[in-house]
Amino acid sequence: MQLNNPELLKNASFINGQWLTSETVFEVENPANGQIVGTVSEVTPGQLEMAVNSAYAACEVWQSKTVDERAVILKSWNDLIRDNQQDLAQIMTAEQGKPIHEAIGEVAYGASYIEWYAEEGRRIKGSVLPNNQQGRRALVQQTPVGVVSAITPWNFPGAMLLRKASAALAAGCTFIVKPSELTPFSALALAELSLQAGIPPGVFNVVIGSNAQPIGEVLTLHPKVAKFSFTGSTAVGKKLLSQCASTVKKTSMELGGNAPFIIFEDADIDKALDGLMRSKFRNAGQTCVSANRIFVHQSLHDELVERLRLMVSELTIGDGQDETTQIGPLINLKAVEKVEKLVAQAVTSGAKLVLGGEKIKNSGYFYQPTILTGVKPFMDIFNQEIFAPVASIIAFEQEDQVIQLANQTNYGLCSYAYTNNANRIWRLSEKLAFGMVGINEGVLSNALAPFGGIKESGMGREGGHWGIEEYLETRYVCIGNVE
Ligand code: SIN
C-alpha cells in the first residue's frame, strides 16, 4: 500500500490515547488476492480492563467540556478524515475488498455522520414541566449514558463505526469499539485521526482481537459499561443481547436483513433496474440492506430479467484497487462456500440459473454475479440473507400476494418498491413490515435519517436525532418546597 500518510497504518489497540501492543499477533488477509495486509496485536485481558476503566474515567473529562468545545473537536476529526479520504479508502479496500470508488464513498459517508452529530450535540435539550402542585418545580434533563461499547462489522469498516461513535461522543459519552478482526486497520486509522483531532485520552478506544467471544463478553457484561451497540448478524446479536441483560444495559442492535425489492407493473423499468443494480451489487451484495428477494410483476418479468442479464454480464470483477472494478471479492472462503450452497440448493429445488453461479477460480474469494429466476418461498435462498452478488427473482401477479410474501420473514430491516401509483405508494409505506421502506429508490441511508430494523432485524436507530437519543438518559428532577 502506498499511503500519503503512512502514520495511518497502525497495528495495536488504541487505549487511553496510547497504542498498546502485545506478544500475540494475528494476520489480516486481503480477500482479493490472499496476501497479508499486515499483522495486528491481540488485546490482552488487562488492556481490555484498562480500556473500560479509562473510558469510565474519561467521562468526566469529556462531559466537563461545553457542547461547543465537543463540536469543534468532532469537526476537526471530520476534517482530518476527509483530508485523508484517499488513504483511508486504500486501507479499506485492501482489507475488505470493496472497489476503491465505493471505499472513497464510504469514507465520506462515515464522515457525514460526524459532521451531522457535531451539530446535533448542540440541540440536546431538556424541558421544564408546568407545575401541578404549589411550591414544586419539575425538570427533565437529557444526560449522556456514560461508557458505550460497540462491535462493528467488516462490510462497512469505517461508516458503521463512525455512525455509532459520532452520535455517542456528541451525546457526551465515551466509546470503546471492537472492529471486526477481518478489517481492523480502518478502525485504527480512524483512531490515529481521533488523536490528531484532539479527542482526549480514553474518550475513543479501539480494542483489537481475533477471538470475538472473550472481548464481546467484557463489552457486554462489564458493569462500568452503560450501553452496548452492535451491527452484525441476528444470531450473534441475540447472544450479545442476552449477555447485556445481566447488567440491564441499554442496547442498540442493527442486525440482519432479507430485503424484498418489488417491481410493479406500473414501475419505470429503467429506474427500477438502476435502483436494483445499486441495491443488489453494492459491496458485492454484502450489505444488510441489499435486495435479497426481487419480486417482479409477471408482465415485466421476461423483459426485466433479460435487461438485468445484459447489465450484470457487463460488470467488471476484480481487485478493488483497480479503478475499473465494480465487483470485488467476498470477504472470505466461508462466504463463498455459503453462497455456493444457497445457489446449489435453489437450483436443485427448481430455480433457473440465468447467469453466473460459480466461484471464480483465481486467487481471492470471488463469486460470479449471478441471476436466478423461479425462486420459491421454501428455498433457503428466499429465507436467508444471501450476502453475495446473487439476484434472486420471483414473479408475482397481485399486490396483496406480493406484500404477504415480502413480509414472510422474521427480518424487518429494509424493503424497496418501484411503482408510479400514488395510492399504492401509501399502501406500501404502511403495509411493508420493515424499519425502512424505499419507494422508487435503491439506496436510502444518510446521516439525517433513522437507519434500523424491526422484528429480528434489531432495535434502536442510527442517524438523525433518533441516533443521538440512543446515547442519552431521560432524567426527571423534582424540586419541592420552592418558596
Ligand atoms: C449495512 O449494510 O449494515 C449498512 C448499509 C448502509 O449504511 O447503507
The domain containing residue 270 runs over which residues?
259-446
Q: Is 78 in the pocket of ligand 1 (CB under 6 A)?
A: no
Instruction: Give mean pLDDT, residues 51-61.
Output: 98
Is the pLDDT confidence value at 92 over 80?
Answer: yes
- Hey, which of 113, 278, 281, 287 would you mutate to test ligand 1's pocket, going by the most ligand atoms within 8 Å of its Cβ? 287
pLDDT single digits (tens) 5-38: 999 999 999 999 999 999 999 999 999 999 999 9
Q: What is the pTM of this model?
A: 0.97
Nearest to residue 280, comparing CAs of 379, 353, 361, 385?
385
29 occurs within a structural domain = yes
Residues 378 and 263 in one domain: yes
Residue 1: its pLDDT value, please? 82
189: phi then psi, degrees, rounded to nearest 5: -65, -40
Residue 362 pLDDT > 80: no
Residue of 116, 151, 160, 183 with the most ligand 1 atoms within 8 Å of its CB, for mutation: 160
Examine the domain organization and report whether 36 and 79 are in the same domain.
yes
With beta carbons less than 8 A apart as the criterion, state whether 430 and 472 touch: no
157 and 267 fall within a common domain? no
Task: Decide if 254 is catalytic.
Answer: yes
Give the chain's length.
483
Q: Which of 254, 385, 462, 470 is catalytic?
A: 254
The percent of residues above 90 in pLDDT, for the chain, comes to 99
**Cβ burial, residue 138 (10 Å; 0-12/13-18/19+):** middle
- In angstroms, the first-to-last Cα distance of the chain is 70
Same domain? For 47 and 172 the reply is yes
Q: In whole angstroms, what is the distance from residue 263 CA to residue 240 CA?
A: 36
Residue nearest to atom 3 of ligand 1 (CA): 288
Q: Is 290 in the pocket of ligand 1 (CB under 6 A)?
A: no
Percentage with pLDDT > 70 across the chain:
100
pLDDT confidence bin for 300, thresholds 50/70/90: very high
Q: Is residue 252 in contact with ligand 1, taking CB distance under 6 Å?
A: no
Instruction: Tell me the average pLDDT of the chain.
Output: 98
Pocket test for ligand 1, best of 106, 290, 445 (most atoms within 8 A of CB): 445
Q: Using an 8 Å Cβ cutoff, are 187 and 63 in contact?
A: no
* Helix (H/G/I), strand (E/B), else coil: 379: coil
What pLDDT is attached to residue 341?
Answer: 98
Q: Are residues 350 and 418 in the same domain?
A: yes
Q: What is the CATH number of the domain that holds 438?
A: 3.40.309.10
Do 63 and 45 fall within a single domain?
yes
Same structural domain for residues 276 and 249?
A: no
> What residue owns the CA closest to ligand 1's atom 6?
445
Tens-place pLDDT, residues 114-155: 999 999 999 999 999 999 999 999 999 999 999 999 999 999
Q: Are residues 251 and 263 in the same domain?
A: no
Whether 179 and 231 share a structural domain: yes
Tell me, yes or no, whether 483 lies in a domain.
no
Look at residue 255 in the predicted model and tell me its pLDDT: 98
- What is the mean pLDDT of the segment spanning 178-188? 98
CA distance 25 to 42: 5
pLDDT digits (tens, 9 = 90+) for 194-223: 999 999 999 999 999 999 999 999 999 999
**85 and 168 both lie in a single domain:** yes
Active-site option among 59, 173, 288, 414: 288
Does the annotation mark 288 as catalytic? Answer: yes
**How far apart, in whole angstroms, are the C-alpha atoms of residue 29 and residue 365?**
11
What is the reported pLDDT for 363? 84
Q: For the chain, what is the domain count?
A: 2
105 and 150 co-located in one domain: yes
The answer to whether position 111 is within a domain reads yes
190 in ligand 1 pocket by Cβ < 6 Å? no
Strand spans (E) along 201-242: 204-206, 225-231
Task: Report d(CA 255, CA 457) in Å as an integer.
Answer: 5
The CATH number of the domain where 467 resides is what?
A: 3.40.605.10
